[in-house]
Structure 1
Amino acid sequence: MSPARTRVSPHGPRGRPGTGVVPSRQNGVRVSPYDPRCHSAEGTRSVIPVARCPSALGAMWSPAPLCALGRRRPGPSAPLQPLTRLLQREYRQKTPTRLLQREYEAKTPFCLPQREYREKTPFCLLQKEYEAKTAFCLLQREYRELPLPGQGWGRTQHLPPRRFLSKKPKSKRHPKTFPVLDGHVPAVYQHVFEENLRNSEAVIKRYSELLERVKKGGGEHAILRHTQRNKKVFVRERLRLLLDGIGRICGVWCVFIASDATVKGGTIYPIGVKKQLRAQEIAMENRLLSVHLVDSGGAFLPLQSELFPDKLHGGRIFYNEAIMSAMGIPQVAVVCGSCVAGGAYVPTMAEESVIIDKIGTLFLAGPPLVKAATGEDVSPEDLGGARLHSQVSGCSDHFAPSEEEAYECIRNVVSTLNCEPVPEQDREPDSPLYSPEELLGLAPLGYSCTLPVKLVLSRLVDGSRFQEFKATYGTTLVTGFGHVEGHLVGIVANNGELAHDAALKGSHFVQLCGQRGIPILFLQNTAPQPAGPASISQAEAHSNRLKAQASMMAAVACAAVPKITIVIGGCFGSDSYIMCGRSFSPNFLFLWPNARVGLVDSQHFPTVPPAGDWTGEELELKQLKAKLEEESSAFYSSARLWDDGIILPQDTRKVIAQCLEIMEQKKYQAVSPRPQPIIRM
């Protein structure tokens, strides 16, 4: 039998659609040119007879072309074609002659009216409308609109279906019918409440003193020189001129990074680099506009090894600026002072910048270095002043005669960003039934002074209403749903030692919030670490507890929803990880002034004998306990950026609501991501 031949049809009407290949006949037998069994080991072709019966119709066309065209995945029942034949077929279909022929045939006078007529028949129109509105098509269309690399269905077929989110105000979508919490402090706890209240008043007094000291910047003399001799506005006054509220411009939440030139001339220290990187991280997570008020002398050279060479040192600021621009996150800058060396890159890499006349200067090396290198005397204005960069270099986009006009210009720029503020709710949310001021007596002095956490919740959630999840199971962890100024949140709060049942309950609840797309609020007050097991039964219980905690830890780490953590008491050991501590990257993390942060609780550290003759080990133990006590305070933690700040207990509800609104704002942005950043030059 001679080898079977295939006839190539330019139209492909009788063969496989779009392939241009028709199965040939020989002695009344149909032969499939795609069947891999037609090829012998030497590469020659043999003919396989195919009987003319219904059972053989499935074998008439091999599934291999389906794999080659991407319509079917290869498997045991669909062996792939040899690479040579696949490339040959693809080449034949894409030759210039074939492409022109296909385009010509599609545009012949006969085909065009015929296609237009068929597409506009009533039956076809109804069929298209029906198919476009089926549930499958709606989901498929939503899948394909995801901004992911690649093309077609293959790029999203591995993703779960997204929920259809409504932009209606929260108060309409979530009726306030949750049970009301009893927030009355029992008389038996009154002495604990008063002891906590005295401690809260003491730590808040210290917090207020430190805050006033920080607000003075570099001191009265430095502020006087900054405002009178240099004719500049103090940094906090600049923010007041720019903002229309707490952290907003034109109703849009923003991240502000402002240099304070009264402290070391605005020079960048290692802790300043860490602070800027954290601000940029918040901006990227929540797609917030970044506003830079630059008045910086660049890096502090004596500490260059701590802020220049490593991955998360100063250069990361400029890397993040480029990445944020490519993500479509706007960045604007005001040159409101001297910007030297690394400080000059921040406004240059911003999408729009404003420079202030006679005040703002921009250069890599200032006049003193020019004098040392070339012997030439040059003024800061001639070297890198506002007119030079506005008219010659193009490093600045707007020229402002004064600081007030510069900040008004920035407000105008923000109004062009096509970012809508979060819509206001249709009605005022219900206030808690109990006074937030009473939270001062519920902030624990130590773990032994902890009161039931539901007393705290009753002063945070709208109307003191809380829908508890598994109320009678694992009671040392409280989980459930509530509203904070109209925003629905899932709440996970410590109420004692995180035991086996409590950890399983927390894992279940966190996964529910992740599946439903509900933000999670963690109220952290971890118990001191228990002593090691003393028997086999205790060891088994300890192991089960560890496994349950590992389950909850994994659930918290993988929950793809916004997370806010408030440390209302202790933050110790591995329990702090389970309750979404800093290592687990919550969107925001705040401390109450009474909070304590450490690997172990210094108050439960091994006791030291009374004063007397001390051995070397006992003295070392006493010093270690004092060190732990100092380093576990909320002020020590916040000064090192282990958190996002200290908040007063009575302000907690307002801060949580603001964070939820900030995280929700990105839903209303119309800025589309771009593959490349905006490049000025």
Structure 2
Amino acid sequence: MTVLSTTLDKNSEEYQRATAAMEAKLADTDEVFAQLAAAGGERAVARHRDRGKLTARERIELLLDRDTPFLELCPFAAWGSDFPVGASVIGGIGTVSGVECVVLANDPTIAGGTSNPFTLKKQLRIMDIALKNELPFISLVESGGANLPTQSEVFIPGGDSFRRLAELSKAGIPTISLVFGNSTAGGAYLPGMSDHVIMIDGQSKVFLGGPPLVKAATGEISDDESLGGASMHARTSGLADHFAVDEPDALRIGRRVVARLNHRKQGPTPGPAVAPVHSQEELLGIVPEDLKIPFDPRDVIARIVDGSDFDEFKPLYGAGMVTGWGRIHGYPVGIIANAKGVIFSEEAQKTTQFIQIANRQGTPLIFLHNTTGYMVGRSYEEGGIIKHGSMMVNAVSTSTVPHISLLIGSSYGAGHYGMCGRAFDPRFLFTWPSAKSAVMGGAQLADVVTSVAKASAQARGKPIDAETLEVRRAATEKQIDDESLPLFLSGLVYDDGIIDPRDSRTVLGLSLSAIANAPIESDRSYGIFRM
């Protein structure tokens, strides 16, 4: 075995400062998690319970197998926007009757469960995870439909959710709807396009137009139950496949439907999992508060891979990038981690070759981000940094094995792309509270903006107001720093969640297990091109 040693000194001042900084950032995210737990607030939850209904999180808990984990996805969607954090919907991966499933639940205590633009972004991302990983998709439906003031942002792209339901079904991925309340107008197509539909007596309401709309359009007078109640759909229209007497009964039936799916994983079977030699608690103190200070990613790898056992690839070449092989919870992985921040030609070529080998072997790849981007300067341009960086980006783009990205430090510029950022379609992308991501660092971007402004003024023969320029520079730097923080990016659904560093091994293991529901596809149609 090639067990990684550690360079961490837990008694050092640097370690203590890094740990304190990480704990402070975790406290900030804990405050947001408290908002999520509160749902629509005490009064809204009380009203919901007075109607004899379970909360969205209680429904998920009863649906899942007892004492099994739930990997919540995109929990901070809409953070920093005009809409409640979480975007009125809860989604994630959990085990139902022994089968890993994607579960998406409307939260009716938040604006009636209506869908705003962030709800749609989150919903589509989670549906995409179900499709790519071939996970059964379960909807716990209770929604007032579109948030009408934002209909211009929701209506047109909203059709994509129905298209994806059809794509899931076509791909042989089961879709199941449990209707707990209203599912009306366009929302009626959610159960309408699902493979299995469960409705609850006296509670589920599914119709294209409610009684007021029907009266206005046709003059017909009707009520909710006769127009779209569970009894009518179970006995007359046939929309309901299962008729439940109450919410616990609906969840019981949902579990039975999943148990009868005959779902089988098609990916790799994991070997025995072995705990890392080094403590995962120490992950708190690895990343310095100042991301300009380098750190060794092997200290992270040693605390997430099985037995801290890691076979490094090309350790003496392109030392600014650590590449190698390990296992996480028994699943084989290739790991690519930035060691020096800047990516030089040697690192780009080494990474490209490693990605090709991973594809030949059908091994999923994990990217640990801490990069300021590709190296700039005359000698590096002459040395081919553009073609070598492009080679790496090309390899990441065309790689067909599953990718998981974990942002632990900086993730700037084209380096973010080469390390499989969101636009490069990783199966999962998670962030540590220490991470930052933007086109470049705030100070550098602000200097570029002010330099351009100064040059423009000089070219036009206008005087340069140094004080105004400095105010503009400081404002730009603050804006970019604010926009590069994990909560800001998570609010835009640019990641699948901000995680405690100590949970990294667990989250990666759950992600790899989800990935293993689908076969691992790899490109074996070419030889290995030495760089």
Interval of TM-score (by shorter of Structure 1 and Structure 2)? 0.7 to 0.9
Deviation string for 1:172-196 (max 9, x for gaps)?
xxxxx3x111114158x93322221
Distance 1:537 1:268 in 2: 52
- The Cα of 1:450 is off from its aligned counterpart by 3.1
2:127 corresponds in structure 1 to: 280
Q: Is the 8 A contact 1:468 1:481 kept in 2?
A: yes
1:502 corresponds in structure 2 to: 347
1:540 corresponds in structure 2 to: 382
Q: Is the 8 A contact 1:348 1:396 kept in 2?
A: no
2:369 corresponds in structure 1 to: 524
The counterpart of 2:214, out of the listed 351, 360, 370, is 370
Does residue 487 of structure 2 align to residue 635 of structure 1? yes
1:226 corresponds in structure 2 to: 48
Deviation string for 1:403-443 (max 9, x for gaps)?
10101101111111111368998975221111101101013
Deviation string for 1:640-659 (max 9, x for gaps)?
10011111100000111111
Amino acid at match of 2:493: L
- The Cα of 1:270 is off from its aligned counterpart by 1.2
1:489 corresponds in structure 2 to: 333
* Counterpart mapping for 1:152-551 below 5 A: 177=1, 179-186=2-9, 190-228=12-50, 230-244=51-65, 245-246=68-69, 247-309=94-156, 313-373=157-217, 378-420=222-264, 428-496=272-340, 497-527=342-372, 533=377, 537=379, 539-541=381-383, 544-551=384-391
Distance 1:238 1:367 in 2: 29
Amino acid at match of 1:507: T
**Deviation larger for 505-514 or 622-631:** 622-631
- The Cα of 1:377 is off from its aligned counterpart by 5.0
1:560 corresponds in structure 2 to: 400
1:298 is paired with a residue of what secondary structure?
coil
- The Cα of 1:626 is off from its aligned counterpart by 1.1
Deviation string for 1:621-680 (max 9, x for gaps)?
221111111111100111110011111100000111111111112359xxxxxxxxxxxx
Q: Is the 8 A contact 1:567 1:595 kept in 2?
A: yes
Q: Is the 8 A contact 2:270 2:329 kept in 1?
A: no
Does residue 421 of structure 2 align to residue 572 of structure 1? no
Q: Is the 8 A contact 1:251 1:421 kept in 2?
A: no
- The Cα of 1:218 is off from its aligned counterpart by 1.2
Distance 1:424 1:551 in 2: 29
**Structure 1 pair 528–423 and aligned structure 2 pair: CA distance change class (3 A):** closer
1:598 corresponds in structure 2 to: 438
Number of equivalent positions: 478
Distance 1:512 1:538 in 2: 26
Deviation string for 1:8-43 (max 9, x for gaps)?
xxxxxxxxxxxxxxxxxxxxxxxxxxxxxxxxxxxx
Amino acid at match of 1:185: L
Q: Is the 8 A contact 1:461 1:482 kept in 2?
A: yes
TM-score (norm 1): 0.67
2:84 corresponds in structure 1 to: none
**Deviation larger for 459-468 or 544-553:** 544-553
Q: Is the 8 A contact 1:196 1:449 kept in 2?
A: no
**Structure 1 pair 375–242 and aligned structure 2 pair: CA distance change class (3 A):** same
- The Cα of 1:269 is off from its aligned counterpart by 0.9
Q: Is the 8 A contact 1:481 1:491 kept in 2?
A: yes
- The Cα of 1:545 is off from its aligned counterpart by 1.8
Q: Is the 8 A contact 1:297 1:341 kept in 2?
A: no
Q: Is the 8 A contact 2:446 2:476 kept in 1?
A: no
Q: Can you give the 5+ residue segments of structure 2 that lack an aligned partner in the other structure?
A: 70-93, 451-464, 521-531
Does residue 468 of structure 2 align to residue 616 of structure 1? yes
Distance 2:289 2:243 in 1: 54
Deviation string for 1:62-121 (max 9, x for gaps)?
xxxxxxxxxxxxxxxxxxxxxxxxxxxxxxxxxxxxxxxxxxxxxxxxxxxxxxxxxxxx
- The Cα of 1:444 is off from its aligned counterpart by 3.3
**Structure 1 pair 666–184 and aligned structure 2 pair: CA distance change class (3 A):** same
Amino acid at match of 1:180: V
The structure with the greater share of residues assigned to strand is: 2
Distance 1:664 1:196 in 2: 35
1:365 is paired with a residue of what secondary structure?
coil
Amino acid at match of 1:317: S
**Structure 1 pair 505–667 and aligned structure 2 pair: CA distance change class (3 A):** closer
Distance 2:483 2:140 in 1: 33
Deviation string for 1:569-588 (max 9, x for gaps)?
11110000000001111111
Deviation string for 1:208-239 (max 9, x for gaps)?
110110121111111111111x2211000000
Q: Can you give the 5+ residue segments of structure 1 that lack an aligned partner in the other structure?
A: 1-176, 669-681
Distance 2:140 2:399 in 1: 35
1:490 is paired with a residue of what secondary structure?
strand
Q: Is the 8 A contact 2:275 2:306 kept in 1?
A: yes
1:659 corresponds in structure 2 to: 511
Distance 1:603 1:426 in 2: 45
Amino acid at match of 2:310: F
1:472 is paired with a residue of what secondary structure?
coil
- The Cα of 1:549 is off from its aligned counterpart by 1.2
2:501 corresponds in structure 1 to: 649
Distance 1:545 1:202 in 2: 38
**Structure 1 pair 603–443 and aligned structure 2 pair: CA distance change class (3 A):** farther
Q: Is the 8 A contact 2:104 2:139 kept in 1?
A: yes
- The Cα of 1:370 is off from its aligned counterpart by 3.5
Distance 1:498 1:184 in 2: 23
Distance 2:436 2:270 in 1: 40
**Structure 1 pair 649–375 and aligned structure 2 pair: CA distance change class (3 A):** same
TM-score (norm 2): 0.86
- The Cα of 1:539 is off from its aligned counterpart by 4.2
Distance 1:448 1:626 in 2: 17
Tell me: higher relative CO, structure 1 or 2? Use CA pairs within 8 A at least 6 residues apart: 2
Deviation string for 1:143-167 (max 9, x for gaps)?
xxxxxxxxxxxxxxxxxxxxxxxxx
Distance 1:298 1:577 in 2: 36
- The Cα of 1:616 is off from its aligned counterpart by 2.9
2:343 is paired with a residue of what secondary structure?
coil
2:166 is paired with a residue of what secondary structure?
helix
**Structure 1 pair 447–603 and aligned structure 2 pair: CA distance change class (3 A):** farther
Q: Is the 8 A contact 2:372 2:413 kept in 1?
A: no
**Structure 1 pair 216–479 and aligned structure 2 pair: CA distance change class (3 A):** same
- The Cα of 1:550 is off from its aligned counterpart by 1.0
Q: Is the 8 A contact 1:445 1:594 kept in 2?
A: yes
**Structure 1 pair 646–315 and aligned structure 2 pair: CA distance change class (3 A):** same
